[in-house]
Structure 1
Amino acid sequence: MTTELAKSYEPGDIERRWYDQWEQSGYFKPHMDTSKPAFCIQLPPPNVTGTLHMGHAFNQTIMDGLTRYYRMKGDNTVWIPGTDHAGIATQIVVERQLAEQGINRHDLGRDAFTSKVWEWKEQSGGTITSQMRRVGCSVDWDREYFTMDDVRADTVTEVFVRLFEQGLIYRGKRLSNWDPKLGTAISDLEVVSEEEDGFMWHIKYPVVGSDEFVTVATTRPETLLGDVAVAINPTDERYQHLLGKMLELPLTGRQIPVIADDYVDAAFGTGFVKITPAHDFNDYQVGKRHNTQLINVMSLQATILAKAQLFGFDGTAQGTIDLPAAYAGLSTADARKAMLADLTAQGLLLEAKPHKLMVPRGDRTGSVIEPLLTDQWFVAMSKVGDDDATGKSIAQKAIDAVESGEVRFIPENWVNTYNQWMNNIQDWCISRQLWWGHQIPAWYDEDGNIYVGRNEAEAQAKAPGKTLRREQDVLDTWFSSALVPFSTMGWPEDTPELRAFVPSQVLVTGYEIIFFWVARMIMMTTHFTGKVPFKDVYIHGMVRDHEGKKMSKSEGNVIDPVDLIDGIALAPLVDKRTTGLRRPEKAPQIAKATEKLFPDGIPAYGTDALRFTMASYATLGRSVNFDFKRAEGYRNFCNKLWNATRFVMMNVEGKDCGQDESLPLEFSFVDKWIIGRLQQAELDVTEALETYRFDLAAQTVYEFIWNEYCDWYVELAKVQLQTGNEAQQRATRRTIVRVLEVALRLTHPLMPFITEELWQTVAPLANAKHTDSIMVAAWPVAVPEKIDAAANARMDAFKDLVNAVRNLRGEMGIGPAVKAPLFIETADASIAEFIPYLKLLARLTEGSIVSALPEDDSPVAISGDARLMLKVEVDKAAETARLTKEIGKVSAELEKLTAKLEKPGYVDKAPAHLVERDRAQLAELNDKLEKVKGQLAKLA
């Protein structure tokens, strides 16, 4: 006996109940049958710095859809969940929390501070996993990891030690992006350069022993304290006589040479470029080519030093030089003001021209990033490791993996982005001067010698009798996340998981972390396992708001996906901040984000409607403008599916649905048509999911269920169930329930909850309940032989006939409640088969096939070779009055709209889309007026 469905669809209870049951039943775990294909997918681990956003809901919908699809196919399927410790981001969050209490991390000390971060991690991580459950993510929670848990920490250490022993990790003094606010180096990928208003200052550098001077243009005059040369282009004939001559470096008392280098653009500025290799990445390369010194004039706090530090390009210290005492301790901004004043006083500042310049800022702090010489740890990207039998560098292995097609980007245009970065890759700076993260497993003795080990005892064994101190730096967050494809599979042990799930089938991610994460996973996995981490990289677009704006807190348009699932009540509103909210802490952002669309708050759409919306947006590579109205439409789709299932159950439950194969079945052309359409839907959805076209999968499911099954087949089945013989009714009941059961399985990866609830009721009647859950039921496999061309042709002819009659009703102004007789002039006697169906769908009292239509002024429609006429007795007086009133109403609207468009200046000044809308409406009104006048003329 099946369970009776509730009268209305209420997603909340269904979702919570089924998710708990799925998890407790172990359905999320792989079956580990190695005779079956393996499907594995890695969750891009969200940072433990807050909550999930709409972008997470988007890519998790795609990942879960794939996971559920391959699980239903019977593959050995697993989706690995995890969270990332997000070193910089998380440390900033906790430091800000402490600052509100008047506490500095240095007051606490490293151990106490990291304890506070662990507390925050537990709180935030729990929020994230709760949200993922609400979105319906069928991840194997028993395999959940955190990038700083013990297992991952051991793997990170093992990888670091092996790379060091292979000569691929080294420590050196290099120019790095330094965030003075954070007090740490950051990667190029964490630097955001934005155009800002500034100045180009023209400064005179006198030529030693001459009255001549050269003019150097610079946007950063404060760095001239570290100049080691002035360069010209070697082909610049204007300044050849100055090559090799010495210049007086303003404000310092030092002399520097004029050198030639191709880096200089002779056509830009004055043709002279100051070379400051300790404070500019381009200058660093020029200085290296000319074997200059490196003169560091800034502290780690971005203040001017009293004594500049001198280094060689091999990192060796070469002493110090005094800097002007007036600038010591000043910030770069204050030093710039003081130096410009002194240059002006000495007659060395020629002019200051307004100039647009790109200012590098930290993406987390917004502070200006300073190129500074610091001691950092690096992974060599282009060097071949000691004893590496492949003879290839880490970077080359990753380049080859994509070039060979072992790793495929979807859409494929992202290959160009990947290759461009990989072919110009620099050594990876992996150290960060933070407290939160994987502490680098290296120790120093009193002489600064380095000992790397898996633990302190191992390091000490390499330095007998010496006192060691631990390296304080931690590893870049992306170092540990780069290991995820194999650190989650038991490496370095040769585990069944490592053999089965590396490589995984696909990585689903956004384009913004191709360099941060995707490339580094390919590098690390190919180097340590000899296999690629994944076969496909599916790059999806960004989720934006309905106007195409990036979702951000400053815009007030950030939406928590759970708010769309559960809804947020704002009414009754008083100040749009607190009153009436179920979650009042969200009032400001929710009110701002929805006040135009939903003044009373966000309706509850449920998880399935949200997921289906996301799937429908998942066109390859395109960004998504999220429209609440589409979510509302798919909430209606859920209702449609629910109500259709209730109708089916009411008509088949307790009756013969064709389970006994020995009893006769007589299928109509309608039954055969919907069975064939189901086969085509199965083919199309399967192909769409195999090619990551979730938008096409959603479109196919929607059109099949709503348009073909509900609007056509279910309506026609009513006729067959009322008028057919026993064999026909049995065939119809069998068809209506079996097609629905398969459609539910076909829809399950996109809308898991409602399909599970309905399938539990439908499957027994369809003789298909061979498992306890739809999520482990077999994926539908099409049988193309069941696509009946003749039935399709009959259905097309019938649809054309129905639409023709419906158009006639509209043209004649016949209301939905009015039934009328239909005359069909045709030589095709087979149309008689359509009459019972036509009476229902076209609302007829009867349908008659005649040799000639009645002599009448009623309008005639054509459908194929048939001529159609509706015969309606009309109260001419009442209809004349109605039509006359309608003509007056439409004429008034026309007059008003025409006056608006003819108003002087309106067409030229109004937004183009509004003018276009008004013109379209004018055309519609004119067309409507002509039709109503035509009806009145016929009536007369």
Structure 2
Amino acid sequence: MDENNKAAKVEMATAYDSSSVESKWYKYWEENGFFHEEVDKDKQMFSIVMPPPNVTGALHLGHAMDSTIQDILTRFKRMQGFNTLWVPGTDHAGIATQAKVEGQLAKEGTSRHELGREKFLERVWDWKAQYGGRITQQLRRLGSSCDWERERFTMDEGCSKAVREAFVDLYSKGLIYRGNYIVNWCPKCHTTISDIEVEHNDRDGNLYHLRYPVKDSEEALVVATTRPETMLGDTAVAVHPEDERYRHLIGKTLILPLMDREIPIIADDYVDQEFGTGAVKITPAHDPNDFEMGLRHNLPQIIVMDKDAKMNEFAGKYQGLDRFEARKAVVADLKAAGVLVKIDPHAHAVGECYRCTTIIEPLVSKQWFVKMEPLAKPAIEVVRDGRLEFVPERFDKIYLGWMENIRDWCISRQLWWGHRIPVWYCEKCGAEICAKEDPSGCPTCGSENLRQDPDVLDTWFSSGLWPFSTLGWPEKTPELEQFYPTSVLVTGRDIIFFWVARMIFMAMEFMKEVPFPKVMIHGLVLDAQGRKMSKSLGNGVDPIEVIEQYGADTLRFMLITGNTPGNDLRFHPERLEATRNFSNKIWNASRYVLLSLEDYQEGPRGELALADRWILTRYASTIENVTKALENFDLGEAGRLLYEFIWNEFCDWYIELTKPRLYNKEDVLARHTAQSVLLEVLEGTLRLLHPFMPFLTEEIWQNFPVAGKSIMTQSWPGIPAYQDTVAEGNMTLLMEAIKAIRNIRAEMKVAPGQKVEIIMLAADKNQRAVLENGKADILKLAGGASVELFESLPEKPSQSASAVLGGVEIYLPLKGMMDLGKEIARLEKEISLAIQEQQVLETKLNNPGFTNKAPAPVVAKERERLEALLVRKITLEERIKELKQG
């Protein structure tokens, strides 16, 4: 849009149609480079990195919430004048992407092994080029104002260089090593997977009680297990050292049934005396807890399964059986041998591969690991000393609890797609070579017969470098110097351990400072019943479908409001309808205001009316409170404040209060003053709302008679110096009086078009003056035929409905329109509620624990509430008495 060529005539449709404006404005923003800023040392910077979604992914509600929060913060800071950068990007998603391409190959009747590694990787890159941009296009649909000119991919040239740099550096320091360790193994995907890639689902199973005989004794130990097939690899049975039942057996030997192998009885504090029999079989090669116990007690690791989850040669006669077939055979043989004591039904959580749902098999194998203890220490210290804070603060404990008990990190994956481990083996002398550049020969013997390690790195390794690799590290780029450390990280509560923690310790190792001073944690989006959304439950919601039906702004605002930081959000479809109604309210109000501005010319205002002084004061407070909420990352509260101000104060009250002046074209100055205040408040409020509802606000703002190419390049509203608390109080009184009259009319079912007589009693001179000056507003907004105002009345009007508020009594003589019995019942109900509140307050004020400990102003305020309540109760009782007499 040409900022100097805005139409004087408003051309807004009668109804807002999100589908007709969203693509138009996003294209306009992107084409004009509004999302991109060059490094500017003269400006304070704000930077944020997008948690990179999987390149295979499609937008889900978690992404939508995450990106909306980041976009709100980014647009807010951009409007505040910061040198702003929001880095977008995607993750190469090793397992998921490889599975996609392998699926394609299977349909073609071939496989990656038939293609070979090089050809297969070409196919993956082709797939990425064709399908990998889907989620970034969907993020655009949401309105995400990231700097797409700086979009990154975890396997682009720069990120790949950073990965090599980090790996070689850690390797050279002895922090990366290769060894046998227990890992999560997927027998179908044929790779290790990280803890976050394991989904635990409850399954019905059995608890098998087995009798292990003590050598050279009549005694036996009974153990309980859910996986009897793993007993073939048992190397010990453990009991708690303080368990009196078994203390005399510690150090003795058992005979392992079926295998006829001797195994020791050991003592370990890890054993739960209350679970099962209190004696636990230990299989170090097939259970992560047993593995750790095995290390403590120097137990052998006997692997009885291969990588297809079939029993191997160490499983004896069960060799070749699938693990579940082996379970049936083992149980049958145990029963036949008299070893099986009993079988109890037992539901328990079973780990499954997130990609293919195959049950995970814990397996000891040779993998690459990162030593975590030295890396975890500085990452713990930065949270303890406050250099890095979680919002909300309670997530500190969750983070610290995990970091203080962290195990070495398995970083190798048995895949072809990913960052290949930069280690080569000399086939001649056996040397191990780790290098940033591919070596041409062995530095030890000179042989050129080198073989690169076939494994690739865990995806989390590259994403752990994300806050600085995306800015050019290991090069010292201007972007790295200006935008690192980033300002805040926004992410879900379910990813603290797996991504946030790794970014923190990687940053402390390579950048020597935190990657961000704040981590804003949001909850998960659940269905209306509080369940996680999943395909199996059929309760998922497609954000793109929501956008197409309701618009991106409606989805954004719904996800942000009605929730507090860190807590999960339940998705209620009816909230979308309510938020769309809010959008329509803004549209209709803006259209009305803009139509009333068609003859508006800038110029000095006349005397401000009470409503003008009130709305300007409320506008200033809204700016201050919304800004404060955004600075504190309380986006839900910021949205609530805007909703209340726009819907209730601006639309429902101020616009209505200005109509008499706008329609009165004879009083030019009064009309101009109302127009001027409407323009100032609405235009500024749209800027406040823009980070939340970017499309709607842009479409409306482009019709305003103000300069600028886009609302998103306008400055954030400063807090006006204007404050008029007297006007605020007076306007509150006037509005409460109007609301009280409206309530009486509604309760008495007075027809909307029927005018009523209004009698008001106000002993206080100031209150009386406010109501006197507001008579015209009361008549218009409360449907009054007349308003009579008195300092005192010799007798209260009979046969009238009434209300009492803050020293003002309101009477509506309904003259036959009132159901007398109904009015008395209403007043009696008010008295009953007043008595209940009175009892609560009296109990509170009679409690020394409250009156002695609470601050004096708080106690005084409660006493004032009680006194006002007693006055109100007496007034209501007198009114009932009068009605009964009348």
TM category, shorter: 0.7 to 0.9
The answer as to whether partners of 2:797 and 2:811 remain within 8 angstroms in 1 is no
1:416 aligns with 2:357: no
Alignment map for 1:236-247 (pairs within 5 Å): 245-247=252-254
Aligned partner of 1:781 in structure 2 is 718
Distance 1:280 1:439 in 2: 28
Distance 1:361 1:839, change over 3 A: same
Aligned match for 2:134, one of 117, 127, 145: 127
1:66 aligns with 2:73: yes
Aligned partner of 2:856 in structure 1 is none
Q: How far has the Cα of 1:196 moved from its partner?
A: 3.6
Q: Aligned letter for 1:655?
A: Y
Q: Aligned letter for 2:155?
A: M
The answer as to whether partners of 1:229 and 1:256 remain within 8 angstroms in 2 is yes
Distance 1:734 1:173 in 2: 75
SS at match of 1:457: coil
Q: How far has the Cα of 1:834 moved from its partner?
A: 1.1
Distance 2:611 2:402 in 1: 57
Distance 2:228 2:746 in 1: 78
Distance 1:856 1:498, change over 3 A: same
The answer as to whether partners of 1:502 and 1:532 remain within 8 angstroms in 2 is no
Aligned partner of 2:737 in structure 1 is 801
SS at match of 2:683: helix
Further displaced range: 172-181 or 270-279: 270-279
Further displaced range: 366-375 or 265-274: 265-274
Aligned partner of 2:452 in structure 1 is 470
1:697 aligns with 2:638: yes
Aligned partner of 1:431 in structure 2 is 412
Distance 1:247 1:524 in 2: 46
1:559 aligns with 2:536: no
Further displaced range: 4-13 or 721-730: 721-730
Distance 1:779 1:610 in 2: 23
Distance 1:722 1:336, change over 3 A: closer
Q: How far has the Cα of 1:343 moved from its partner?
A: 3.5
Distance 1:216 1:849 in 2: 88
Aligned match for 2:149, one of 142, 164, 169: 142
Q: How far has the Cα of 1:425 moved from its partner?
A: 0.5
1:742-778 per-residue CA deviation (whole Å, 9 max, x = no partner) reads 11111111111111122222242xxxx2x32111111
Distance 2:445 2:468 in 1: 32
Aligned match for 2:229, one of 222, 231, 234: 222
Distance 1:303 1:854 in 2: 93
Q: Aligned letter for 2:451?
A: R
Distance 2:776 2:275 in 1: 84
The answer as to whether partners of 2:425 and 2:431 remain within 8 angstroms in 1 is yes
1:89-125 per-residue CA deviation (whole Å, 9 max, x = no partner) reads 2223333344445443333333333333333333443
The answer as to whether partners of 1:539 and 1:621 remain within 8 angstroms in 2 is yes
Gaps of 5+ in 2: 1-6, 824-879
SS at match of 1:297: coil
Aligned match for 2:670, one of 725, 728, 747: 728
Q: How far has the Cα of 1:437 moved from its partner?
A: 1.2
Distance 2:270 2:564 in 1: 43
Further displaced range: 147-156 or 409-418: 147-156
Alignment map for 1:427-466 (pairs within 5 Å): 427-446=408-427, 448-457=430-439, 460-461=442-443, 464-466=446-448
Q: What fraction of aligned residue pairs are identical, expressed as a percent?
A: 47
Distance 1:939 1:253, change over 3 A: closer
SS at match of 2:132: helix
Q: Aligned letter for 1:544?
A: L
Aligned partner of 1:251 in structure 2 is 258
1:154 aligns with 2:122: no
1:454-490 per-residue CA deviation (whole Å, 9 max, x = no partner) reads 2322664565224111111011011111110001101
The answer as to whether partners of 2:249 and 2:265 remain within 8 angstroms in 1 is yes
Aligned partner of 1:644 in structure 2 is 589
SS at match of 2:533: coil
The answer as to whether partners of 2:200 and 2:351 remain within 8 angstroms in 1 is yes
1:401 aligns with 2:382: yes
Aligned partner of 1:499 in structure 2 is 481
Q: Aligned letter for 2:392?
A: P
Q: How far has the Cα of 1:219 moved from its partner?
A: 3.5
Aligned match for 1:741, one of 680, 683, 686: 683
Aligned partner of 1:329 in structure 2 is 320
How many residue pairs get matched?
Answer: 812
Q: How far has the Cα of 1:538 moved from its partner?
A: 0.9
Q: How far has the Cα of 1:558 moved from its partner?
A: 1.7
Distance 1:494 1:3 in 2: 52
1:717 aligns with 2:658: yes
Distance 2:100 2:346 in 1: 36
Aligned match for 2:726, one of 784, 790, 797: 790
Aligned partner of 2:783 in structure 1 is 843
Alignment map for 1:268-307 (pairs within 5 Å): 269-270=276-277, 272-306=279-313
Q: How far has the Cα of 1:365 moved from its partner?
A: 2.8
Higher relative contact order (CA 8 A, sep 6+): 2
Q: Aligned letter for 1:650?
A: L
SS at match of 1:815: coil
Q: Aligned letter for 2:283?
A: T
1:680 aligns with 2:659: no
The answer as to whether partners of 1:822 and 1:847 remain within 8 angstroms in 2 is yes
The answer as to whether partners of 1:30 and 1:76 remain within 8 angstroms in 2 is yes
1:92 aligns with 2:99: yes
Q: How far has the Cα of 1:351 moved from its partner?
A: 3.9
1:608 aligns with 2:553: yes
Distance 1:423 1:854 in 2: 74
Further displaced range: 861-870 or 714-723: 861-870
Aligned partner of 1:550 in structure 2 is 532
The answer as to whether partners of 2:426 and 2:442 remain within 8 angstroms in 1 is no
The answer as to whether partners of 1:546 and 1:625 remain within 8 angstroms in 2 is yes
1:3-58 per-residue CA deviation (whole Å, 9 max, x = no partner) reads 52222211222211111111111110124222221111111111122310111111
1:563-615 per-residue CA deviation (whole Å, 9 max, x = no partner) reads 11212xxxxxxxxxxxxxxxxxxxxxxxxxxxxxxxxxxxxx11222211112
Q: How far has the Cα of 1:357 moved from its partner?
A: 4.4
SS at match of 1:405: coil
1:545-568 per-residue CA deviation (whole Å, 9 max, x = no partner) reads 23323221222222221211212x
SS at match of 2:43: coil
Alignment map for 1:167-246 (pairs within 5 Å): 167-208=174-215, 213-234=220-241, 245-246=252-253
Aligned match for 1:378, one of 340, 344, 369: 369
1:660 aligns with 2:577: no
Distance 1:402 1:498 in 2: 23
The answer as to whether partners of 1:688 and 1:696 remain within 8 angstroms in 2 is yes
Distance 2:645 2:624 in 1: 12
SS at match of 1:90: helix
Distance 1:454 1:647, change over 3 A: same
The answer as to whether partners of 1:43 and 1:80 remain within 8 angstroms in 2 is yes
Distance 2:212 2:591 in 1: 88
Q: Aligned letter for 1:105?
A: R
SS at match of 2:129: helix
Distance 1:329 1:141 in 2: 53
Distance 2:352 2:488 in 1: 34
SS at match of 1:361: strand
1:155-186 per-residue CA deviation (whole Å, 9 max, x = no partner) reads 11111111111111111122222221211122
Distance 1:448 1:861, change over 3 A: same
Distance 1:618 1:109, change over 3 A: farther
Q: How far has the Cα of 1:370 moved from its partner?
A: 2.3
Distance 2:224 2:715 in 1: 71
Distance 1:119 1:618, change over 3 A: farther
SS at match of 2:298: coil
Q: Provide the aligned C-alpha RMSD in A.
A: 2.9
Distance 1:436 1:527 in 2: 27
Distance 1:829 1:616, change over 3 A: closer
Distance 1:634 1:246 in 2: 70
